[in-house]
Structures are given as C-alpha cells and as structure tokens.
C-alpha cells in the first residue's frame, strides 16, 4: 500500500466494467435499514436544526492529552508503524493497512472504496521561545511533560499576554485548551483580583473542561475558586460563585437569561473581568450565533459600566472563516492562530460509496450506509481495532446495534464480537460516560456506536478506528469525529460511508476538501432587527440605554429605541431609555430559536410534549395530515392550533412522507447589493415571502412516487427575510424556448434546488434553513428566518463557486435523467412543486445542465432530450429479510463467482 | 462587499418589526406608572419654634422608601427630605413608580443635596446612602460629592443606648428621647415595599397613604432626635 499524501480514486478504470451486485437479499437488508433510517438522516436532522437543538452543534473535547508525556518521549519513534501496545489483548496487532486490504477483499465491492487518503504522521513543532509565564506554572507544565509547548500554544499565550483577542483554529486534540487556561491562570497568579468567564455551548463540555481546569489549578498549587454556573447549579453554590468565584464556567443561554440581567449581584466578576473564553466558537453560528453576538454586546456594555474591558480568547474547529467569524461575534479585532504544532500519527481515511444496486423494478439506487456499517464495525473489532461508529440519529444507533446482533446469531465467535460492541448513549451523566470509556480503554469493549451529539466527552486518549455512517453534517464534524481515531502516534483507520444525498455525494467527489481548506463558513447576522430589538429590550433591563452606547449596541440604537418606545416597550427619560413596564425580558428570548412564538408539539396518546418547532418552520411544513418525523419515528399531524401555537400529533407507521404544495409569492423590497453575472443579474435584497399551503402530496420514502393528495385550509405565512435573487437575462430565456415548454422551468427548479443544498453545505446549515422559489425568470434563494440570518448573503457572495458545485453535482450523478439525489426534490418537507408540467418534464438533469452552462459563462451545452426519462413510476417495497453473516457471505461469493463466469 | 444593510428599518421592515414586537407576550399585570404628585409642605406646626431654631440651614434630613433591600434590583420608590428654608422647615416627598421616573427624582435629589453640607439619616450609612449611590451609578449619574457629610443618628443612639434599650429602632428613640409615642395606626416601614408594589399593580393611591404618613413622621422625628443627641453630647 503506497503512502501517498494525496487522495486518489481506487482502481478507477475498473469502476464501470462490473455489473452491480444483484442480490435481492442484499437489497432487502439495506432497504429495510434504509426505510428505517433514511440513508443520510436528512428528514430528521432538518428538524433538529430548526428546534435549535444543541444536538446539531457538535463539539470536541480538548483533552489535556493523557498521553501527552508519552508523545514527547516517543517523538523519536515516529518511524514505528506498530500500534502502541499496552491496551490491546492480542499478541501482535495487525496493521491498519493490512486490515484495510482485508476489508476490501472480504466486504467491499471493488468499486465501493472510492478514495483512500493517507494523512502522514507529523512530528511536533515546538516553540522556540518561552512565554513569560509565572514560574510556578512553568514548573507544573514541565513536571507534567507538557513541555516544550507546541508552537501554536506559545504563540497563543504570547498574544494573549500581550493583550490581543485571539482565535485558535486548529485540529482536535491539538492542545487548544492550554491556549486559554494557561494565560488565564498566569494572570490570576499575578493579579489576585482578576476574574474570568469561560463559555461553552453544552453542559457536557463545561463539565469536562472544569475538570481539566481544576487539574491545572491544583497542580500549580494555587487557591482559586472556580465553578460551573448553569441551570443545574445549586443555590448555595450560585451564591458562593457570585461572591467569590474567580473563574466562572457557563454557557451563552445562562449568561443571557441569568447572569447579565442580575449583573448587580456579579459586581465582583464584572468589575475585574479580564478574560472571556469561548470554546467551540464555530458552533455559535446561524440563529444561535446571531443571538449570542447580541448577548456579547450586552456583556461588553455591562463590563464597561463596572469598569472592565475583557479580552476574548476563542477556540474554533477548522472552518474557512474563523477570524472573520469571531470578529463579527465579539465586535473587536481578533488575531488568528492557525498554525498547528501538535504531532499526529498516521491516519488512513477511506471514503466508501456504497454501490448502485439494481432494484427489482429496474431502477438503480445506492445502498444505504448503515448496511455497510453493520458489516464493517464487527470486522474492525474482530481485528482488534478499538472503534467508534457515529450514526446520525439515536434510532440509527439502535438499529445498527440490533442488526449487528441479529447477524451474529447462531455463531459463537460472531456473538462474542457482537457482545463487545455497545451503544454510547446519551444521558450526559459523567459517571456513565466514564464507565463506558474505561471499558473501551481497558479492552472489555471493542466498539461503540453513538450519535454525533456524543463526539464530545470521549476522554480516552484516542481510538484505533472510526466509522461515520453517512455524512456527519459538516467538515468540522468530520474532522472532529475522524480525530477520535488515533492514539498517541499510532496509526488509525477512518471510514466515511456516504449516503444517497447531494451533499454526501459532493464530498465523495471532493475528498480534498476534507483534508485541505474547508469550504465551510460560520455564518451569523449581527444586524437582524428582529434579533437586535429583542436584545435591546433585555439590555434596557440591565442598564439605561443612551446614544453613548452606539458603539456597542449599534449605530441604530437611538432609532430602534424610539420605535420600541412607540410600541410601549421602552420609555425615554433624560436622553436615556428604560423599560416601560416591569418585566424580565430575558426570560422571553430564547437564543436557539428564531421567534418567541414556537409551536409546541404534543403527542396524543401518551400526551407528552415532544418538542418545539419555530414559527416559520411550523407554518410552512405542518398541517393536518402532514407526516412529522421526529428522530426517524413518523407521526401524523392531527390538529394544528394556530391561536395557541400547538400541534397535536399521533404516532403512525407509514411508508410515506408528505410534501406541502405551496403557493408562494415573493415581493422584492430594499436592495442591498446587485451585480451582473453570466446569463443573469444577481441581487441581494429584502423580500417578503407569502407562503400559503394549498394541499399536500404523499410521497413514498426514497422515491418520487406520489401515492395520494390531501387538502388544507390554512392562513398564509408572511415572512420578511433576505433573498439572493438570480434573474435570468432576456437572451437566456429566449434561448431556452427552442427546447420546448417545461424546459426552462425544469432547469430553474433544478438549479434552485441544488444551489440551496450546496449553499447549505458552505454555510454549515441545514438545507431546511433555506427555501427556494422560482418565478418566471427569477430564482430566489432565501433564509427561512425573519430578518435573514446571512445565508442568502453568503450565497450572493459565493454565487460562482456554488454554481460550479451545482454543475458537478449534475454531471457527476450516475442517474440517467434526474433523481432525488440531484435535481429532483429530495425528502425536504418544504420542497414544493405545483406545476404538473414541471413534475412530468422528462429531462430535468439535461435542462439543469444547459442552464448552468449559461450561468457560468461556459460554451453552450446541447441537451439530450431523448432517451430514458427521469423516474416518476412507483417502486414496490421489498419485504425485509435478514440473513446471518455467514450465509450472506456465502451467497455473495456465489453471486460474484457466477457473474464472473457468466461474462465471456 | 459593501452592503446597505437593512437595519435602517425602512418602511415595510419597520412595520413588520412593530408587528412582531406586538405579538410577543405582554408581561402580566404591567401598566403605566401612576402619577403621584410631589408632597411639599411647611411643617412648622408639627415641630414647634424651638426645633426650628435649633436646626441649621446647612443640614438636610433624608429618609428613603424602596421596593426592596438590594439596590441592584430595587427602585427608590419614595424620597423623603426635610430641610430648613429661612424660618421654616420644609418637607418634600418625591415618588417614582418606574425606573424612568426614578432617574428624574434621583437627578433632582443630587442637585438638591449640593446645597447642603450634611445629610442626616437614621441608618443612612447602612442603607439609604449605599442604596442611593448604587442607584445613581446604575443610572450613570454623578452621585453626591465628598463635600457632603453623613450624619447617621443610629450610630450615636447605638453607642449610647445599646445596652440600656431593648432595641435601637427609630420609634424606640422617639419614645425615649423625645417622649412621643407613635400612633397605633402607624404602618411599619417593612410594609412599604409591598404597598408600593400593590399600587404599581393597580391599587389606588390610598394604599400608600399610610406609608407617606409614616415617612413624614420619621423625618420629623429626625429633626428632634438630632437636637436631643447634641444636647446629650454637650452635657457629657
């Protein structure tokens, strides 16, 4: 196996010559898994993003690597390709490359492993100069073997001690934690009145980080009072921390709702606040990030009132725009530290694209990634690789486990392997997590299956293998999850198994983006008045507002306060604005949702509240008869109460989901920017979108098969937002006419749909956070949030790059004339198609391709409007049948052998 | 990218923002603050010539009623002051029902205090003055300068009578040093915050009348108490 540093397709020449495996048994295993899971968890994840659930925001824990000392000691043993020994029970562990070869011959079809990328081992880059730290701190670091510091750690510490705001953007397990904890503690050693605030996006993370902080503090031997201040904190602890806590660990929600409004009780903290540390800052994006930007401005204003001006230290995963993002978030210049000096072992990353399988009805679609994982995980465990397997949903975790166990039935050796695989479930009890981790570390467990939400909190030094079942949602998450594999400087194996989804397939086509510069941007909008106005009201509770606050609360502060006064929320007195009534406004503003009028979702039967959905999402996707998917369970909406914002749903088992048929009208308002582009004029503008659901279709999962219609009668949603508009030139329109009616419409819809999905990729948001609309000669891509969140703005900025992605997606898709993985509507709840003409147009892919050529200024593409049409016909359901592993393997052998023989 | 960002709140967006604000749940029981006019009276009839003559004109008596004990989350509901104006004693009471109103009253108080050298209170060092300073700071107003001295009568009373009297409350000092028992209808100071709250939530003015009366009596007592304590000092 060569150790090239570039990813390359494997055996590309042999890809097309083989017939795809034609086994109805394979198909039924994967179709039963598929129908339970939805290959890339799309329908489910969209909801979790709109619920603002913290599950969407993935994070990694920065461990003070327990292996750190061994890292330095073994720095000279880099050439060894053997896995570090102590924890494996077998005599000589097989090399990852051997294991990979074995997998390819036994499990994967030859064309399934699309790319193999080897990230070479890299030695540590250590700092040449020592930052001016307190000698006690230096002594402690040295005694722990955390010496010399990595280059980026020293750079970060120096910058902070020099008084600069910084963002450290480097990979997982690169020692980012020390970049903030060390300078903070150093300052506290020198200044007994200094205080610091550490913010984390999740509770689990703050618990882990508090432990590390205490280890450092206790190791140095200084007395510093620290603590976590969040919803779970006991009253006595809260009092103590307010009074005498020097380092407070909390989260943005608590800061917003409790700490800032009661800043009088936190005078000790705010009068001497030297540092605000923000971990996982890339998760502060979208709606949440936009709210947090306002919270930070309130924080800075309160600090100024009490007499402090803290420095910001942020840590980010790898994204395209860390510095710009943090600058927008905190409103100050920030220095970026992105050189990564940490050492790493060799890592083999295999991208696995399950093959196209021929279905009994003649259509082809890809097997689901879960069916691959069910075979792959036991195989890796059998070979002695301690492996973590990330599934996208909780249900997915359970199903994978179940199938692993079922396939192992009847054979003791396979049973034993299956027994050593367990789920790493949620619950966030630190004791439970430690127990599983120690079992994994100690060898009792060989593998765990978990959701993305738990990629934080694994505190073992690293594992040997990692499997990702479907695209994890962002390059960030990919890197964090892949980072879980790789102990010390040993070799590790990572498998990414793609699902049938434009985004998954995009990454299969662009493996270099996983290892080079990320296309992903953290996007926030700091001037959305729907958000800033609400925070102004919160700010008025905290301190009077005046024009002098314009540097922090925005130039528009006086204008907005005047409006708020007219609406009786504020009252002016002596040039200052105050709350006009007695209220606690922070309790009404939730940081993770777009509006206050969320719909509560109630399950009839058990009569329990399942969750909330924000207003806009509910209005465009819920109606009586709608199928609501929550964690891959399906429910039907029985009643929508718009007055009380309540949705009543009932558990149901259907094989279909619903798509709203909507009438939309987009009225363009104030234009923010405009420019010309090949074939079109581009505009970024405020728009009003009026959406009315007129009915809905019932669509079978994973197809475009329409199995029924329903009617609804609902009030329309009026949404004020921002849109990126692509208005086709006259010539483009006239040139399309010769291809017949329906051509241009189909082309525009194809472009719109893919633009939206691929923009979501770049913006690290869910495609359901955007919507598209096609109108005569215009395509609109707009944010599904009042006031806009910045996504369409990114689309406007990156228009050309996104179009290139669209073209690739169209050209690269293996389907004949169009499919749900490329130009046809996927399982999005908001996608709507009204025209029969559009639905029946047979060549959406060709039409789309023609249009993209024109929009990117390429030579004219001549569409092929003959041949196989895009599918509209039904695909019958195959009954799920499970084979045990041994039998299945035999059947496959037979199939391959006979097919080889069959070819002359 | 140079954008004409939408925060200018033009036309449509402004209209939508207003609608959106209206939709958010209005707080329960909130209503605009009741206007309570200043009380301003000459109280010579209640104090007698002697007290007036022995009260210098560089001294001001102060007593606050507040919505709570913690300055960072309470308001000054009532500012009660008494001072010599030529040959009379003038008592004023300024009410504020909300935080915006409080600003105005605090500004007035600060300007008034500049005219005096000493502020006389009962437990002012422990409560009233720190409270005021905190509220001034919160409103980003300048407080009183160092030139204004505090004379906290409780300090003297405690020092002298702590061992003799059952307690050092103002009413006790009134009785024992001035010989004036409080009327039985006097409402204790501890009830004041609740009564103010009731009124802010819609109860009529009569609800705080007893509080206003109590505050006036306190202020008047301060005048006499100051004189008495001085006498004792001179004697001893």
Does residue A525 have a cis peptide bond before it, meaning omega lies within 30 degrees of 0? no
Task: With beta carbons under 8 A apart, name residues in chain B contacting A717.
Answer: none
| Percentage of the residues of chain A whose pLDDT score is greater than 70 | 79
Least confident interval from A222-226, A413-417, B42-46: A413-417
Position with higher pLDDT, B138 vs A395: B138
Position with higher pLDDT, A480 vs A550: A550
**Per-residue pLDDT at A468:** 94
Look at residue A75 and tell me whether its pLDDT is greater than 80: no
8 A C-beta contact, residue A141 and residue A217: no
Tens of pLDDT, residues A587-617:
988 898 777 677 888 999 888 888 777 788 7
Of B12, B22, B70, nearest to A720 by CB-CB distance is: B12
Look at residue A219 and tell me whether its pLDDT is greater than 80: yes
**Per-residue pLDDT at A109:** 62
**Per-residue pLDDT at B6:** 44
In the predicted model, what is the mean pLDDT of residues B192-217? 88
Q: Which two tokens stand for residue A50?
A: 């709109």
Task: With beta carbons under 8 A apart, name residues in chain B contacting A263.
Answer: 72
**Per-residue pLDDT at A867:** 74
Is B12 near chain A, with CB under 8 Å?
yes
8 A C-beta contact, residue A310 and residue A164: no
**Per-residue pLDDT at B16:** 72
Q: What separation in angstroms does the CA of B54 have from each of A526, A655, B160, B233? A: 63, 95, 22, 15
Tens of pLDDT, residues A168-187:
998 777 788 899 999 999 99
Is B16 near chain A, with CB under 8 Å?
yes
**Per-residue pLDDT at A55:** 25
Where residue B125 falls among pLDDT bands split at 50, 70, 90?
very high
In the predicted model, what is the mean pLDDT of residues A433-455? 78
Position with higher pLDDT, A377 vs A12: A377
Look at residue A74 and tell me whether its pLDDT is greater than 60: no
Is B25 near chain A, with CB under 8 Å?
yes
B7-26 burial code (b ≥16 CB/10 A, e <16) = bebeeebeebbbebbeebee
Residue of chain A whose alpha carbon sits nearest to that of B134: A264
Of A555, A583, A673, nearest to B30 by CB-CB distance is: A583
User: Contact A527/B7, CB-based, under 8 Å?
Assistant: yes
Look at residue A26 and tell me whether its pLDDT is greater than 60: no
Residue of chain A whose alpha carbon sits nearest to that of B19: A567
Is B133 near chain A, with CB under 8 Å?
no
In the predicted model, what is the mean pLDDT of residues A503-516? 78
Helix ranges (DSSP H) in A52-194: 68-73, 96-106, 135-143, 151-161, 176-190
Return the closest-CA partner of residue A115 out of A507, A468, A491, A392. A507
Nearest Cα of chain B lies from the Cα of A728 at a distance, in angstroms, of: 22
Task: With beta carbons under 8 A apart, name residues in chain A contacting B13.
Answer: 529, 669-670, 686, 720, 787
Where residue A86 falls among pLDDT bands split at 50, 70, 90?
very low
pTM assigned to the model:
0.80
8 A C-beta contact, residue A362 and residue A15: no
Return the closest-CA partner of residue A287 out of A770, A772, A687. A770
In the predicted model, what is the mean pLDDT of residues B74-84? 94
**Per-residue pLDDT at A897:** 59
**Per-residue pLDDT at A741:** 80
**Per-residue pLDDT at A24:** 35
**Per-residue pLDDT at A51:** 31
Return the closest-CA partner of residue A202 out of A435, A472, A455, A468. A455
Which of B9, B15, B21 is the best residue to mutate to test the A interface, defined by the most A CB atoms within 10 Å of its own CB? B21
Q: Which segment, A12-26, A66-80, A455-469, is predicted with the most confidence on average?
A: A455-469
Least confident interval from A82-86, A486-490, A693-697, A826-830: A82-86
Look at residue A458 and tell me whether its pLDDT is greater than 60: no
Look at residue A279 and tell me whether its pLDDT is greater than 80: yes
- Listed in sequence order, the residues at least 6 apart from A62 whose beta carbon sits closer than 8 Å to its beta carbon are A172, A173, A175, A176, A177, A209, A212, A279, A315
**DSSP assignment of A521-534, as one string?**
-----S--HHHHHH
Residue of chain A whose alpha carbon sits nearest to that of B139: A544
Query: 10 Å Cβ neighbour count for A733?
Result: 13
Of B12, B73, B103, nearest to A264 by CB-CB distance is: B73
Of B21, B100, B140, nearest to A571 by CB-CB distance is: B100
Tens of pLDDT, residues B13-24:
777 777 777 766
**Per-residue pLDDT at A904:** 38
**Per-residue pLDDT at A489:** 65
Tens of pLDDT, residues B44-73:
988 889 999 999 999 999 999 998 888 888
Look at residue A93 and tell me whether its pLDDT is greater than 70: no
User: Contact B3/A793, CB-based, under 8 Å?
Assistant: yes
Least confident interval from A77-91, A640-654, B143-157, B164-178: A77-91
In the predicted model, what is the mean pLDDT of residues A209-224? 92
Distance CA(A371)–CA(A39), nearest Å, equals: 10
Least confident interval from A1-5, A294-298, A646-650, A664-668: A1-5
In the predicted model, what is the mean pLDDT of residues A758-762? 89
Where residue A454 falls among pLDDT bands split at 50, 70, 90?
low
8 A C-beta contact, residue A728 and residue A679: yes
Nearest Cα of chain A lies from the Cα of B192 at a distance, in angstroms, of: 18
Tens of pLDDT, residues A260-273:
999 999 999 999 99
A608 bridge partner residues: A603
**Per-residue pLDDT at A171:** 76
> Strand pairing of B118-121 and B149-152?
parallel
Position with higher pLDDT, B81 vs A444: B81
Q: What separation in angstroms does the CA of B171 have from each of A445, B9, B178? A: 76, 58, 10
**Per-residue pLDDT at A27:** 42
Position with higher pLDDT, B204 vs A516: B204
**Per-residue pLDDT at A14:** 34
Query: What is the pLDDT of chain A when averaged over all its residues?
Result: 79
Look at residue A70 and tell me whether its pLDDT is greater than 50: no
Look at residue A62 and tell me whether its pLDDT is greater than 60: no
Look at residue B108 and tell me whether its pLDDT is greater than 60: yes
3-state secondary structure of A227: strand
| Percentage of the residues of chain A whose pLDDT score is greater than 90 | 35
**Per-residue pLDDT at B121:** 96
**Per-residue pLDDT at A359:** 66
Tens of pLDDT, residues B160-173:
998 999 999 998 89
Checking ipTM against 0.95, whether it exceeds it is no
B163: left (phi over 0), alpha (psi -120 to 50) or beta: alpha
Total beta-carbon pairs less than 8 A apart between chain A and chain B: 133
Tens of pLDDT, residues A852-898:
999 999 988 888 887 767 665 433 333 334 455 556 666 666 655 55
Distance CA(A433)–CA(A657), nearest Å, equals: 36
Look at residue A43 and tell me whether its pLDDT is greater than 50: no
Distance CA(A133)–CA(A672), nearest Å, equals: 49
User: Contact A527/B18, CB-based, under 8 Å?
Assistant: no
User: Contact B13/A543, CB-based, under 8 Å?
Assistant: no
**Per-residue pLDDT at A839:** 65
Where residue A49 falls among pLDDT bands split at 50, 70, 90?
very low
Which helix (H) or strand (E) segment holds residue B57: the answer is: none
8 A C-beta contact, residue A492 and residue A350: no
Task: With beta carbons under 8 A apart, name residues in chain A contacting B71.
Answer: 264
Return the closest-CA partner of residue A282 out of A553, A473, A427, A44. A473
Least confident interval from A72-86, A108-122, A527-541, A707-721: A72-86
First-to-final CA distance of chain A: 31
């Amino acid at each position: 196996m060569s150790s090239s540093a570039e990813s390359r397709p494997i055996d590309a020449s042999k890809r097309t010559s083989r017939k795809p495996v034609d086994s109805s048994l394979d198909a039924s295993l994967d179709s039963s898994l598929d129908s339970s899971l939805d290959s890339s968890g799309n329908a489910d994840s969209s909801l979790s993003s709109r619920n603002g659930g913290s599950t969407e925001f993935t994070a990694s824990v920065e461990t003070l690597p327990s292996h750190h000392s061994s890292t330095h000691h073994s720095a000279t043993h880099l050439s060894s390709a053997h896995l570090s020994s102590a924890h494996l029970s077998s005599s000589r562990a097989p090399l990852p490359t051997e294991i990979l070869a074995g997998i390819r011959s036994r499990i994967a079809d030859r064309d399934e492993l699309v790319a193999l990328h080897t990230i070479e081992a890299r030695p540590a880059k250590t700092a040449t100069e020592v930052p001016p730290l307190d000698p006690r701190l230096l002594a402690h670091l040295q005694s722990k073997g955390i010496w010399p510091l990595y280059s980026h750690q020293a750079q970060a510490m120096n910058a902070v001690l020099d008084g600069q705001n910084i963002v450290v953007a480097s990979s997982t397990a690169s020692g980012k934690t020390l970049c903030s904890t060390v300078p903070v503690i150093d300052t506290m050693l020198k200044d007994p009145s200094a205080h610091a605030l550490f913010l984390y996006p999740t509770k689990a993370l703050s618990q882990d980080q508090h432990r590390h902080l205490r280890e450092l503090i206790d190791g140095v031997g200084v007395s510093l009072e620290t603590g976590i201040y969040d919803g779970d904190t006991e009253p006595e602890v809260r009092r103590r921390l307010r009074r005498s806590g020097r380092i407070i660990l909390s989260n943005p929600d608590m800061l917003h709702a409790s700490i800032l409004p009661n800043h009088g009780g936190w005078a000790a903290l705010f009068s001497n606040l030297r540092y605000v540390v923000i971990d996982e800052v890339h998760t502060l994006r979208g709606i949440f990030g936009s709210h947090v930007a306002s919270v930070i401005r309130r924080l800075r204003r309160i600090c100024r009132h009490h007499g402090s001006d803290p420095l910001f230290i942020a840590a980010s995963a790898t994204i395209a725009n860390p510095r710009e993002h943090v600058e927008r978030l905190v409103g100050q210049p920030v220095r970026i530290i992105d050189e990564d000096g940490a050492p790493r072992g060799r890592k083999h990353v295999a991208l696995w694209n399950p093959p196209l399988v021929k279905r009994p009805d003649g259509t082809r679609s890809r097997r689901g990634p879960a069916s691959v994982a069910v075979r792959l995980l036991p195989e890796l465990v059998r070979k002695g690789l301690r492996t973590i397997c990330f599934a996208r949903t909780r249900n997915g975790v359970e199903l994978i486990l179940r199938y692993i166990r079922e396939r192992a039935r009847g054979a003791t050796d396979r049973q034993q392997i299956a027994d050593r695989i367990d789920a790493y479930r949620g619950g966030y009890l630190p004791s439970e997590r430690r127990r599983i981790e120690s079992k994994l570390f100690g060898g009792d467990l060989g593998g765990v299956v978990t959701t993305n939400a738990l990629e934080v909190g694994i505190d073992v030094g690293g594992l040997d293998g990692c499997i990702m079942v479907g695209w994890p949602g962002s390059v960030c998450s990919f890197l964090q999850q892949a980072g879980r594999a790789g102990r010390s400087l040993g070799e590790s194996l990572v498998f990414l198994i793609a699902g049938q989804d434009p985004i998954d397939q995009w990454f299969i086509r662009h493996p270099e983006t996983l290892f080079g510069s990320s296309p992903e941007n953290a996007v926030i909008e700091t001037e959305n008045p729907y958000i800033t106005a609400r925070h102004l009201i919160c700010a008025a509770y905290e301190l009077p507002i005046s024009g002098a606050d314009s540097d922090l609360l925005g130039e528009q502060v006086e204008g907005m306060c005047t409006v708020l006064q007219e609406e009786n929320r504020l009252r002016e007195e002596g040039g200052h604005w105050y709350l006009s009534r007695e209220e606690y406004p922070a309790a009404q503003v939730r940081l993770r949702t777009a509006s206050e009028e969320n719909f509560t979702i109630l399950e009839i039967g058990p009569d329990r509240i399942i969750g909330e959905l924000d207003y806009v999402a509910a209005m465009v996707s819920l109606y009586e008869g709608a199928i609501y998917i929550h964690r891959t369970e399906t429910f039907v909406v029985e009643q929508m109460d718009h007055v009380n914002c309540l949705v009543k749903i009932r558990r149901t088992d259907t094989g279909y989901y619903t798509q709203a048929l909507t009438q939309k009208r987009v009225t363009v308002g104030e234009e923010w920017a405009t420019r010309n582009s090949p074939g079109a004029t581009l505009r970024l503008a405020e728009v009003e979108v009026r959406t009315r659901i007129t009915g809905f279709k019932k669509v079978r999962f994973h197809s475009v098969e329409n199995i029924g219609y329903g009617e609804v009668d609902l009030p329309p949603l009026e949404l004020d937002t921002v849109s990126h508009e692509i208005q086709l030139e006259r010539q483009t329109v006239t040139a399309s006419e010769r291809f017949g009616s329906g051509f241009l419409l189909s082309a525009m819809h194809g472009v719109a749909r893919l633009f939206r999905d691929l923009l979501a990729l770049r913006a690290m948001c869910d495609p359901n956070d955007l919507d598209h609309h096609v109108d005569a000669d215009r395509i609109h891509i707009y944010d599904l949030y009042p006031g806009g969140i910045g996504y369409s703005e990114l689309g406007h900025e990156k228009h050309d790059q996104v179009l290139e992605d669209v073209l690739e997606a169209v050209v690269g898709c293996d389907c004949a004339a169009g499919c749900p993985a490329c130009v046809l509507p996927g399982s999005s709840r908001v996608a709507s198609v009204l025209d029969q003409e559009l639905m029946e147009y047979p060549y959406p892919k060709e039409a789309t391709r023609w249009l993209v050529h024109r929009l990117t200024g390429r030579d004219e593409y001549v569409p092929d409007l003959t041949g196989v049409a895009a599918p509209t016909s039904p695909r019958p359901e195959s009954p799920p049948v499970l084979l045990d592993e041994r039998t299945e393997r035999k059947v496959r052998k037979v199939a391959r052998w006979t097919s080889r023989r069959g070819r002359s | 990218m140079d954008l004409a960002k939408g925060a200018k709140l033009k036309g449509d967006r402004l209209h939508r923002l207003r609608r959106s604000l209206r939709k958010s749940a209005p707080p329960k029981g909130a209503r605009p603050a009741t206007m309570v006019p200043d009380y301003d009276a000459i109280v010579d009839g209640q104090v007698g010539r002697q007290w007036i003559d022995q009260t210098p004109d560089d001294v001001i008596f102060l007593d606050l009623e507040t919505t709570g004990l913690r300055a960072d989350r309470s308001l000054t509901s009532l500012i009660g002051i008494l001072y010599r104006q030529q040959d009379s004693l003038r008592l004023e009471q300024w009410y504020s029902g909300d935080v915006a109103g409080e600003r105005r009253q605090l500004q007035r108080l600060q300007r008034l205090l500049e005219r005096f050298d000493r502020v006389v209170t009962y437990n002012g060092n422990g409560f009233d003055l720190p409270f005021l300073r905190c509220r001034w700071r919160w409103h980003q107003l300048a407080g009183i300068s160092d030139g204004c001295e505090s004379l906290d009568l409780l300090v003297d009373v405690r020092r002298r009578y702590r061992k003799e009297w059952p307690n050092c409350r103002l009413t006790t000092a009134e009785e024992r040093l001035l010989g004036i028992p409080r009327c039985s209808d006097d409402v204790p100071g501890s009830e004041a915050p609740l009564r103010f709250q009731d009124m802010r939530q819609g109860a009529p003015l009569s609800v705080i009348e007893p509080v206003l009366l109590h505050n006036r009596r306190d202020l008047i007592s301060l005048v006499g108490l100051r004189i008495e304590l001085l006498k004792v000092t001179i004697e001893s």
